[in-house]
Amino acid sequence: MLKRILKIIGIVLLALAVVVGGYLAYVFISYHRLPDVDDATKLEGEAARTNETYAIATWNLGFGAYSDDFGFFMDGGTESRAFSKEAVYENLNHAFDALKALKPDFMLLQELDEDATRSYHVNEVALAGETLDGYSSYYAQNYDSPYLFYPLTRPHGASKAGLLTLTNTGVDRVARRGLPIEGGFMKFLDLDRCYSKMWIPVDGGKSLILYNLHLSAYTSDGKIADEQLELLTADMLAEYEAGNYVVGGGDFNKDLLGDSSAVFGVSGEAYTWAQPLKDGAIPAGLTLVSSLDAANPIPSCRNADGQYVPGESFVLTVDGFIVSDNVRVEACRVVDEGFKCSDHNPVVMTFELKEE
C-alpha cells in the first residue's frame, strides 16, 4: 500500500513538473521584443500654426480597470483583472466623456488594451477611436506579453497594449521607438516599452513632433527608467536642434515634483517605485512641465494598492510634459477626476509654438 501511495505521489509530482516546465518553456519561447516602426502615410488635415494656443491632454487610462476601489496585485492590491467587462466600459466611457469635455487639440493616452485577458478582450483602442471622433490617431503597441499564470486563482493572462496619440491636425508621418528594459527574469514583469512620435506639419515648413511615453515602473532599482529617459530626451533634443518643435507627454513613473509626500501630506516611505528625476535628467534646450498649484495641489496618480481614500492613500505626480525652448507654455494643470475611472488623473497643458 505504501509503495502504491508513493508511486501515485511520484506520478503527480512528475506531472506537475512537466506542466510547470512546459509553461516556463512557453513563456521563454513566446517572449519577444516588438520592432520599431516607421510609417510615412500622410493623414489629411490642417497644419499647426505659430502663435496660436493649443491644448494637449495626457492620461494613463489603466486598461479600463482602475475605478477608485481597484487595487492591482503588482501595486500591493489583490486584483489581477478588471472587475468585469461592464466595469471596463464604464471606466473608459467616463474617461472619454471627460476628455471630450476638455476639448484638447491633442491627446496622449497610455495603457489601452487592444486585446487582453485583464480587460476581457475589449478592444479599447477601437473604442477610443469610435468615441473620440474627429481626431486622427496613431496606435503604438507597447507590449505583447505571453499568458501570465499568476495569480493562480485568477491569472493576469496575456496582453496586447499600447499608446494612442490623437490630433485634430494633419500628420506627415509616425513612428514607434523601443526603449531599453531590464534583462533576466525582470523582463517578464517589465514587459516591453516604447514611445511614439508623430510629425505634424507647421506653417512655414517645420514640424511639431508629438511624443507619447510610458516609462517603466516595475524595475529592480530604477536605472532602466533613467536610461529610457536619457534615450527619449536625446531624440527630442535632436529634433529641436534640427529646427522642429517638440512636445512630449505621458506617464514618466517618476516623482515629477521631487517630493510628492511633502506636497500632498501622505508619506511615501513604503513606496519606492517612483523616484525623483536625477539632476541633469532634462538637458538644456528642453523643459519639464508638471502641474503644482500650491494653494490647491492635485496629484496625477495614486498608489493602487486598494481603495482610494483621500488624505490617506499615497498620491503623487508622475504625469507631465517635456517641451523644447521654442514652445511657450501658458498653463499646466491636473484635472481632478478623483481617480474614479483610472489610477491617474488627466493633465492638461496649453501652449504656443513660437514664431522664429
CA 43/CA 108 separation, integer angstroms: 17
The pLDDT, as a whole number, for residue 144 is 85
Specify whether 278 is located in the same domain as 302. yes
Helices (H), 180-253: 187-190, 223-241
In this structure, the dihedral spanned by the alpha carbons of residues 334, 339, 344 and 349, taken in order and rounded to 10 degrees, is: -20
* Of residues 346, 10, 43, 74, the one with CA closest to residue 198: 43
Cell numbers linked to 209: 513632433
Cell numbers linked to 137: 490617431
Cell numbers linked to 72: 492591482
The pLDDT, as a whole number, for residue 221 is 61
CA 112/CA 258 separation, integer angstroms: 28
Specify whether 223 is located in the same domain as 304. yes
Specify whether 23 is located in the same domain as 52. no
> Beta strands 106-116 and 54-60: pairing type?
parallel
pLDDT in tens, the chain (356 residues): 667 776 677 676 666 766 556 655 645 555 667 888 899 888 899 999 999 999 999 999 999 999 999 999 988 899 999 999 999 999 999 999 999 999 999 999 999 999 999 999 999 999 999 999 999 999 999 988 888 878 888 888 999 999 999 999 999 999 999 999 876 555 555 568 999 999 999 998 999 999 999 998 866 566 788 899 999 999 999 999 999 999 999 999 999 999 999 999 999 888 888 889 999 999 999 999 998 777 789 999 999 999 999 999 999 999 999 999 999 999 999 999 999 999 999 999 999 999 97
Which amino acid is residue 228, in one-letter code? Q
Cell numbers linked to 128: 477610443
pTM beyond cutoff 0.85: yes
Specify whether 23 is located in the same domain as 44. no
Specify whether 16 is located in the same domain as 163. no
The pLDDT, as a whole number, for residue 4 is 74
The pLDDT, as a whole number, for residue 21 is 65
- CB–CB of 80/155 below 8 Å? yes
Q: Which domain holds residue 245?
A: 37-353
Q: How many folded domains does the chain comprise?
A: 2
Cell numbers linked to 165: 496619440
The pLDDT, as a whole number, for residue 29 is 56
Specify whether 267 is located in the same domain as 241. yes
Specify whether 143 is located in the same domain as 114. yes
Exposure string over 317-346, b if 16+ CB within 10 A, otherwise e: bbbbbbbbebbeeeebbbbebebbbbbbbb
Specify whether 192 is located in the same domain as 232. yes
Q: Quick check: helix, strand or coil at residue 22?
A: helix
Specify whether 138 is located in the same domain as 162. yes
- CB–CB of 63/124 below 8 Å? yes
Which amino acid is residue 317, in one-letter code? T
For residue 214, the domain's CATH number is: 3.60.10.10
> Beta strands 286-289 and 245-251: pairing type?
unpaired
Specify whether 107 is located in the same domain as 83. yes
CA 21/CA 52 separation, integer angstroms: 60
- CB–CB of 251/318 below 8 Å? yes
The pLDDT, as a whole number, for residue 152 is 84
* 25: number of Cβ within 10 Å: 10
Strand (E) or helix (H) holding 106: strand 106-116
Specify whether 186 is located in the same domain as 322. yes
Task: Show Cβ contacts of residue 195 under 8 Å, excluding neighbours closer than 6 positions.
Answer: 140, 163, 176, 177, 179, 211, 212, 213, 214, 232, 248, 250
Residue 118 carries which DSSP code?
G
If phi > 0 it is left, if psi is from -120 to 50 it is alpha, else beta; for residue 250 that is left
Specify whether 14 is located in the same domain as 162. no
If phi > 0 it is left, if psi is from -120 to 50 it is alpha, else beta; for residue 63 that is left
Instruction: Give φ, ψ of 239 to 5 degrees.
Output: -70, -40
